[in-house]
Amino acid sequence: MRPLSNFVIRHSKLSLFGFIGLVLLSLIGGFQAFGNLKGGGYYDPNADSAKVTQMLIKDFNQNDPEVVLVADMGRSVDEDQSVQNADLITTALEQTAGVKTVTSYYSLGRPATLKSKDGMAVYFFAKFTDTAKQAEVSKNIQDKIGGNNYGATIYVAGWGPITSEINHVIEGDLTRAESVALPLTLLLMIFVFGSVVAAGLPLMIAGLTILGSFFFIWLASLFTETSTFSVNLVTGLGLGLGIDYALLMVNRFREERSKKNSVADAVQTTVLTAGRTVFFSGLTVALVMVGLNFFPQYFLKSFAYAGLVSVGLAVAAALIALPAFLNILGDNVNRWPLFKHRAPKDVGFWSKLAKFVMRRPIPVILVSVLALGSLAALGMNVKLGQVDDRILPTDNRVVISTNQIRERFDGREGSPVEIMVQNATNTKIEEYATKLSKENHIVRVQTTLGIFQKGYLVPQTDSYFKNYVKNDWTRVVVIADVEPRSPEGEALTKSLRAESNNFEQLLVGGSAALYTDALLGITNNLPWAALWIILTTIILLFLFTGSLLLPIKAVVLNFMSLFATMGFLVWVFMNGNLHWLIGDFASTGTIDSSSLVLVAVISFGLSMDYELFLLSRIKEQHDLGLDTTESVAVGLQRSGRIITTAALVLAVSFFAFASSGVSIMKMLGLGIAFAVILDATVIRALLVPALMRMFGNANWYAPKWMKWVQKKIGLEH
């Protein structure tokens, strides 16, 4: 840290304006990122279901339709007028730019399963020439064909319209979140620092972090699939961490100036103390975010990239641009005061709270653990699901359209189960299809031989049903009446895979199987991600503190906070509570698995952020000769206000996303806001002082060889 501080002090203008110039230059590429980002990314690309999808596209020239339309004719669908209206709808779809093929109840031989139970509505399916433009083409269909047109009421559903609506809602959410978070954050900064200039510095660092991050998101999008939601994380995390780190640095600089140290000395001490904490904090959060890369879904991998970028730039801006600016400003950092800035004291609210807790550690621990345990218990009945149209507001046109499919049709025609069997004879296919068609929740089994319903074969002559054999693979299509991305869809997939058969090889794909394999991709890799997070966190905290016990305590407390947060999210989003606070959302009886993992990892990393903020000041006081009780009291007094403010800033930054119209963004915003507030209050203000008081001198113990390692690599305090 010393060489960096010396360089920044000697070359302050170069460091500041050079950093700002690089960020501004990066925007040339950064603003191009938005066009390259993609929706989806929730599936495991290495699973059997993904192999089936690739076979369907490559060998059978088949994939699920991007758009599924329901046309309510207002009369029997078999009347002449309904047929004429259907021709108009088909023509309109075929003339829409980007549409490759259109099929419907009428073109597929009028099978009963493509007709609603009341006989007044039918399916239309549209496939596109370029899936990369599915959102754009889907929006055109929604705007121009959906609604009351061509003598029918047309409902537009499917993954293409879902993606289009999500992108549209996210754009508005991002603008609204920033318009709410920035003014509130500025007010918080003014309250903490008392002057407009000092309050503006954290916002400057946050702005540089966010703008610079777009460039790296753009680079990532050039080489790998990157989720559109990564922009939200860059905004929230960049704003939160940028301000957190700047808060720590500016506060320490003003503290050093209050001791009458020169500006240069104050900057150097700030970098060597608060800067060291920022470096370790950023490294810890970054390594925790790497844990998301253990999962196969690019939705989660995208957040790993976004997290690494945001953290890295926040640390760089706080250690290069900010010290340089402080050296230039000097005492002008206090210009335009709104109220008088007071020098920090060693006795105050936080030190009194710490001593109150440390006089009665056991009762405080028992009450705190009971409260956290009660929250964690709310998540005991968690059921994992996956995103579908219901992540959008209940009055969204895609949700209304998809509900028509759920309520009026027996099977999910747009989301079939796709089964591939190898080296199958017609006799084996017939036996297998007959058996499947008799199973619960199976509406129809479609094979090269025809359609099987309730054990009976209905021969088909249309060539559409004959294109079911390629090379040595035969395609079997199963239409079920269960929600594909749900526990019922998972149970169906598992039962199909467990079904006895005489085939050489059988692969199950389709929406339900993709969902099932996505869950397995998370649960199978979760232990490895957790192991990585635990080990890297413990190692880094040891190198930071030189203690054997403190890192273990920190990890245990973080998991307690994490489980409490998970329980809270299950209570809200699975059980459907707090609509009055975060707005309307659909409660499906499940909670999105990918979003839950995302909240868990980010919350763990940010919680460790505050652990380092607190431990750095406690250890500093202990190294000066204070005993454990006094070092904890003074350390909490010096850092309590900063930790609380930092937590409030992060909570505001992310809670702004809780107003999103997309429920997974609500979960991300509310979950992280809740986690950081819980951590800054119950964990840091109560449990940390209580446990450190109980452990006493054992807090600072480490074997000699571990101390030697810390000293050898030059990371001792």
Burial class (CB in 10 A: 0-12, 13-18, 19+), 129: exposed
* Residue-averaged pLDDT of the chain: 87
Residues 317 and 180 in one domain: yes
Beta-carbon neighbour count of residue 352 at 10 Å? Answer: 13
Beta carbons of 9 and 268 less than 8 angstroms apart = yes
For residue 103, pLDDT over 80 is answered with: yes
Report pLDDT digits (tens) over 327-354.
999 888 888 877 665 656 778 888 999 9
Inside any domain, residue 523:
no
**For range 681-708, the mean pLDDT:** 87
pLDDT value at 360 more than 80? yes
C-beta separation of 237 from 216 below 8 A:
no
The pLDDT-based confidence of 83 (bands split at 50, 70, 90) is: very high
**Residue 328 sits in the same domain as residue 364:** no
Give the mean pLDDT of 60-81.
89
Cα–Cα distance, 17 to 28 (Å, whole number) = 18
The total number of structural domains that make up the chain: 4
Residue 323: inside a domain, yes or no? yes
Whether the CB-CB separation of 464 and 110 falls below 8 Å is answered with no
- Considering the domain architecture, whether residues 559 and 633 belong to the same structural domain is answered as yes
Shared domain check, 416 and 447 = yes
Q: Do residues 354 and 322 both lie within one domain?
A: no
Q: Considering the domain boundaries, does residue 60 fall inside one? A: no
Task: Indicate the DSSP class of residue 459.
Answer: -
- The token duo for 547 is 């203690």
Give the pLDDT mean for 408-426. Answer: 85
- Does residue 539 lie within any of the structural domains? no
Q: How far apart are CA 257 and CA 251, in angstroms?
A: 10
Q: How far is CA 130 from CA 99, 101, 136, 138, in A?
A: 8, 12, 10, 12
Give strand pairing partners of 68: 125, 157
Distance (Å, whole) CA 465 – CA 133: 28
Here the CATH number for the domain that contains residue 419 is 3.30.70
Asked whether the predicted pLDDT for residue 131 surpasses 80, the reply is no
Angle between helices 276-290 and 230-258 (to 10 degrees): 160
Are 356 and 413 found together in one domain? no
Give the mean pLDDT of 643-668: 84
Q: Which of 98, 133, 157 is the last residue of a domain?
A: 157
pLDDT of residue 605: 87
CATH number at residue 74: 3.30.70.3040
Tell me phi and psi for residue 249, to 5 degrees. -70, -50
Q: What is the mean pLDDT of residues 252-262?
A: 87
Q: Is 202:240 a contact under the CB 8 Å cutoff?
A: no
Shared-domain flag, residues 507 and 568: no
| pLDDT, position 466 | 59
In the structure, what pLDDT confidence band is assigned to residue 156 with cuts at 50, 70 and 90?
very high
pLDDT tens for 429-453 read 989 999 999 988 898 898 888 888 8
Q: Which residue type does 21 have?
A: G
Contact 245, 281 (CB under 8 A): yes
* pTM score of the predicted model: 0.82
The answer to whether the beta carbons of residues 68 and 413 sit under 8 Å apart is yes
Give the pLDDT band (50/70/90) at residue 418: very high
Tokens coding 377: 């218990």
pLDDT, residue 705, reads: 76
Q: What residue type is 523 in one-letter code?
A: T
* pLDDT of 460 strictly over 70: no
Same domain as 200, residue 141: no
For tokens 């025609």, name the residue.
413
Question: What are the helix (H) ranges across 224-293?
Answer: 230-258, 263-270, 276-290
In a domain, 35, yes or no: no
**Are residues 184 and 116 part of one domain?**
no
Domain with 643 in it: 345-377+547-701
Residues 568-625: tens digit of each pLDDT? 999 999 888 998 888 888 888 888 888 888 899 988 988 888 888 888 889 888 888 8
Of 65-74, 226-235, 482-491, the poorest mean pLDDT is in 226-235
- Backbone φ/ψ region at 362: left (φ over 0), alpha (ψ -120 to 50), beta: alpha
What SS3 state is found at 75?
A: coil
- Residue 182, token pair as written in the block: 């920035």
The whole-angstrom separation of Cα 205 and Cα 384 is: 38
Between the ranges 342-346, 358-362, 447-451, 539-543, where is the mean pLDDT highest?
358-362
Q: Quick one: tokens of 607? A: 């919680």
Phi, psi of 385 (to 5 degrees): -135, -160
pLDDT at 160 over 90: no
User: What is the pLDDT, as a whole number, of residue 455?
Assistant: 84
| Stretch among 174-178, 311-315, 387-391 having the lowest mean pLDDT | 174-178
User: Any idea which of 221-235, 282-296, 372-386, 606-620 has the lowest mean pLDDT?
Assistant: 221-235
pLDDT greater than 90 at residue 566: yes
Indicate if 685 and 576 belong to the same structural domain.
yes
Residues 591 and 665 in one domain: yes
In a domain, 176, yes or no: yes
Looking at the domain assignment, is residue 565 inside a domain? Answer: yes
Nearest to 429 by CA among 412, 449, 411, 444: 449
* pLDDT tens column, 91-100: 999 999 999 9
Residue 375's Cβ-count burial label (10 Å; 0-12, 13-18, 19+) is buried
Rounded CA-CA distance 596/572 in Å is 12
pLDDT at 302: 87
Residue 139 and residue 224 in one domain: no
Q: Does residue 661 surpass a pLDDT of 60? A: yes
Residue 312: inside a domain: yes
Query: What pLDDT shows up at residue 647?
Result: 86
Q: Which of 496, 516, 536 is the last residue of a domain?
A: 516
